[in-house]
Chain A
């Protein structure tokens, strides 16, 4: 065993000095390889982080949303639907919500305007998301004016700017009082955008949904888990798009690695001949080349992964932000929570190290079975 370990150490020593002897070539390879790992790891870490972030935030949202449908489209829902629904066992809270979208031509961005259920605001107060505050350049105490449905400008004083924690989903949020909301959008009393139900026991959600559908046949219930699933698939889809774009880069790298390995220089081939002539077996040469591949792969993987970790968790993934976050103008500026998922690391390791190893092993094997008497000729 000790002999085996010593032998591996000698091979690694030799490999290291071989790598250092061809600094330029190997450094170039390491750089390209690290870059590929960096890009793939960034996308994986960031998309995963976005999904978990969204899931954490949505945990606080209601379990069921009931929307009224007219001619297959979402319409305002009368307040008396709350009564028509009747008492449903398991529902501990139900209320109407008011929310809508507002296009701000100055910023060329959409705001999500909502009436908060847990906050009291006066008619002229507003709580705004970080994205709006940033783009408008306003702070607490400043005024923001928006145009109502009938063309009048209505000013709101910023009472609060929402915290960074929820920025991913609150970047474009604009919270105002119910009274102001009805004025801005011209929505009459007794009408809501939708209704929300809080359910104590998550296992009862499906049953309650069924009951709501029976009692209010012109409505559609939306479950929180469905919203989560939608978010999940949107981020997964975006991640997929980026992966498709990156697959070209990965393929280019595999070709590069193959070319590097199959195009062993005359000097490298001569070296293999010398090693075999002085008593190395084909197996020793292969092991030495295996270590060479392993050292490059592992170093590239480590550099790429650490780079991606820093890029995503300390640099807010600035390179992939526009594609993966998706907001058109009001990009959320949030700091993803650092995490490492072993399965994800293993997947990434497999998809980057394995192609390199496969691309290099065959040409190296072909070179290593050269007859040792080549050096005598």
Chain B
């Protein structure tokens, strides 16, 4: 899946005294089946850019194209549909729902699709098995270690079979060993045909041989393109 950004700009609190431009004109292309890392200091705009690519928010101006089709400007309903089927998200703090079991958390993104329950459960269990979590399926997520929670988040991101995986600071809550393990998993996902976008300022990630392309951001622009 080819993703193209054209002159993306994003403002928060536009028109108010506290107006803030998080993205100030970014044009980029992400090639399919590649691992791209957006690196930069905190506040450089990488997470905002990732949320725009993943249809979690809209740019103030500019266009996002997916395989040549313009996404920005579509109504919420369509954006949700695209987000659901095209993108899988792995969040910095994992964002698993406490109190639910591991398998329920994994199945959660598929609930609004109304799939056959047995098939959905089998798919979730298959993913858990692949990520060596089969024995934890019935446990509540609070019982998991950081690495396990991260892998559950990956399973959840993959449940709807997305082509693009978006990971926001995925190693922020992991130690070096677990970070390396995660990069190994990401390598496996790339080999299975996924396009992967990661934001990180962790050298374990952007220096990893798994990453094909590193893009540095600074003050809402691509590094080296601003004044």
Binding site for B on A (CB under 8 A): 2-7, 9-11, 14, 17-18, 20-21, 267, 270-271, 274-282, 284, 371-373, 375-377
Binding site for A on B (CB under 8 A): 47-48, 50-51, 56-57, 76-77, 80, 83-84, 89, 91-92, 95, 97-100, 104, 108-109, 111-117, 156, 160, 168
Q: Are B57 and A279 in contact (CB under 8 A)?
A: no
Enumerate chain A residues within 8 angstroms of B168, measured Cβ to Cβ: 376
Q: In the complex, which residue of chain B has the Cβ closest to the Cβ of A278?
A: B109
Enumerate chain B residues within 8 angstroms of A5, measured Cβ to Cβ: 114
Q: In the complex, which residue of chain A has the Cβ closest to the Cβ of B88?
A: A278
Enumerate chain B residues within 8 angstroms of A9, measured Cβ to Cβ: 117
Known: A21-B99, A276-B80, A373-B51. 10 other contacts (CB 8 A): A3-B114, A6-B117, A7-B112, A11-B111, A274-B95, A277-B91, A279-B80, A284-B111, A376-B91, A376-B92
Q: In the complex, which residue of chain B has the Cβ closest to the Cβ of A285?
A: B112
Q: Are A4 and B108 in contact (CB under 8 A)?
A: no
Q: In the complex, which residue of chain A has the Cβ closest to the Cβ of B85?
A: A279
Q: Could you name 6 residue pairs across A and B whose Cβ atoms are closer than 8 Å? A: A4-B114, A274-B95, A278-B108, A371-B56, A371-B57, A376-B47
Is the contact region of chain A dominated by helix, strand, or loop, or is it mixed?
A: helix
A277 to B92, CA, bound (A): 13
Q: A281-B80, A371-B57 are in contact. Are A6 and B50 (CB under 8 A)?
A: no
A277 to B87, CA, bound (A): 10
Enumerate chain B residues within 8 angstroms of A278, measured Cβ to Cβ: 89, 108-109, 156
Q: Are A275 and B57 in contact (CB under 8 A)?
A: no
Q: In the complex, which residue of chain B has the Cβ closest to the Cβ of A282?
A: B76
Across the interface, B83 reaches (CB within 8 A) one of A7, A279, A282, namely A279
Q: Are B76 and A281 in contact (CB under 8 A)?
A: yes
Enumerate chain A residues within 8 angstroms of B48, measured Cβ to Cβ: 373
Q: In the complex, which residue of chain B has the Cβ closest to the Cβ of A10?
A: B111
A372 to B80, CA, bound (A): 10
Q: How far is the CB of B132 from chain A (nearest CB, A)?
A: 22
A279 to B85, CA, bound (A): 8
Enumerate chain B residues within 8 angstroms of A3, measured Cβ to Cβ: 113-114
